[in-house]
Structure 1
Amino acid sequence: MPGRFFLTRPDLLGLDTQPRANIAPGEDVWVQTAKEMRLMRWGMIPVGRTNARGRPVLETIINVRSETLYTKSAFEGLRRAVVPVEGWYEWTGEKRRKTAWAIRPKDGGVLHFAAVYDIWQAPGGTEVAQVATLTCAPSADVRDIHHRMGVILKREDVSVWLGDDQNAAADLMVPYPDGRLSVTPATDVDWTAP
């Protein structure tokens, strides 16, 4: 499941912004909503989420299991969005000896990750637009390196995901078709750089 994204060719999205080879949780990422393309913080503090004692939970969630999106109260009222990027990274191996893998579309284009977002009212009245991507079972392309992957939408399904039909959107929360992703070792990435 996505833990880091990359967008080294923002011109693919028509954006005039700096290339980014290492987008980490907690940083801003470009998000497409039904109305606009805008920056949002990657990682959500679910609005209204409480623990067993009724106290607010402030744990940040970067990925939401698609299987529980419509069943957990913590996700009620979220709006659907898309996070367009060139790809994401996964790691395999033991601690301090992990291999980083870059996963991208074989055609070299853009991946459209299904996501949900809301606006969090931070202490002091500050509003923070926040987003989390959805995950599902992996496709055959990713299965050997991770047990989950992001829900990736086909380009023609983006408008359905962003539309009003919740049932049609729910039908899209499936693994990306096999054979469409390239998985290669990630080299020359500065993992400390924002």
Structure 2
Amino acid sequence: MPGRLFLTASLSGVADFLGVDATGVAPDPPRFNMAPGEQVLTCPPDRTLTQMRWGMIPVGRVNARGRPVMETIVNARSETVFSKSAFDGVTRALVPANGWYEWTGEKRKKTAWRIARRDGRLLAFAAIFDVWNGPGGVRLPQVATVTCPPSGDVKHIHDRMGVLLDPDQFPIWLGDDTEAAASLMRPYPDGSLLVETATGVDWTAP
């Protein structure tokens, strides 16, 4: 649902895929292991490209004592993303990637899986974002990917997957019509994704 992301396409390739202008955006080197808490390339509704922290501290959410909740949400469930109070006031966005990783098996004996489009094209994860205002005037743009039940391609490795969007759906997801955007939160078509064991990546499995 994604546990880690990878983005190896060039900045110009990402910009062409998303239909945005990347002028003035500093390119990243290929990133083979993007973990929650790190900066990820994000496309908000103004169709720019910017870096945001992957993982949201819900803005304005407090516990029974009135203290801010500091729990970080990396993946937001499609079933509740438009109704849960933790997501009040968030804005929709896209997170581009070449694919993502999942793990199966017991601790210390996990198998890592690499998931990408079968045709090698980029993926766009449906996401939500806002800006967290921290102590001392800190302002932190933060993003969470949106998940849904798995497609037939990935259900054998996880019971959730990221909501994946095609270019003709980008304007709907980034637009103002919440009902239309909600209709996009469904599993990606079966047969579109390639799932294979991942080797040669430097990581510590979550």
TM-score normalised over the length of structure 2? 0.90
* Residue number in structure 1 paired with 2:32: 21
Q: How do 1:134-149 residues align onto structure 2 when only pairs under 5 Å count?
A: 134-149=146-161
Query: What is the aligned residue count?
Result: 192
The match for 1:79 among 88, 91, 110 is 91
Deviation at 1:131, TM superposition (A): 0.1
Q: Helix, strand or coil for the counterpart of 2:155?
A: coil
Deviation at 1:159, TM superposition (A): 1.2
- The whole-number CA distance in structure 1 between the counterparts of 2:92 and 2:170 is 10
Could you report, residue by residue, the CA deviation over 1:132-178 in whole angstroms, capped at 9, with x for unpaired residues? 00000000001000000001112210111001111110110111111
Q: Which amino acid aligns with 1:27?
A: E
Deviation at 1:109, TM superposition (A): 0.8
Q: Helix, strand or coil for the counterpart of 1:167?
A: helix
The match for 1:132 among 144, 147, 165 is 144
Deviation at 1:90, TM superposition (A): 0.2
Q: How do 1:66-145 residues align onto structure 2 when only pairs under 5 Å count?
A: 66-145=78-157
- The whole-number CA distance in structure 2 between the counterparts of 1:150 and 1:54 is 32
Deviation at 1:63, TM superposition (A): 0.3
- The whole-number CA distance in structure 2 between the counterparts of 1:74 and 1:156 is 29
Deviation at 1:82, TM superposition (A): 0.4
Deviation at 1:10, TM superposition (A): 2.8
Q: Helix, strand or coil for the counterpart of 1:67?
A: coil
Report which stretch shifted further, 9-18 or 120-129.
Answer: 9-18
- The whole-number CA distance in structure 2 between the counterparts of 1:65 and 1:124 is 31
- For structure 2, list consecutive stretches of 5 or more residues without a partner in the other structure: 16-21
Deviation at 1:80, TM superposition (A): 0.2
Could you report, residue by residue, the CA deviation over 1:31-89 in whole angstroms, capped at 9, with x for unpaired residues? 01111110000000000111233221101110000100121111010000000100000
* Residue number in structure 1 paired with 2:19: none
Q: Percent identity?
A: 60
- For structure 1, list consecutive stretches of 5 or more residues without a partner in the other structure: none
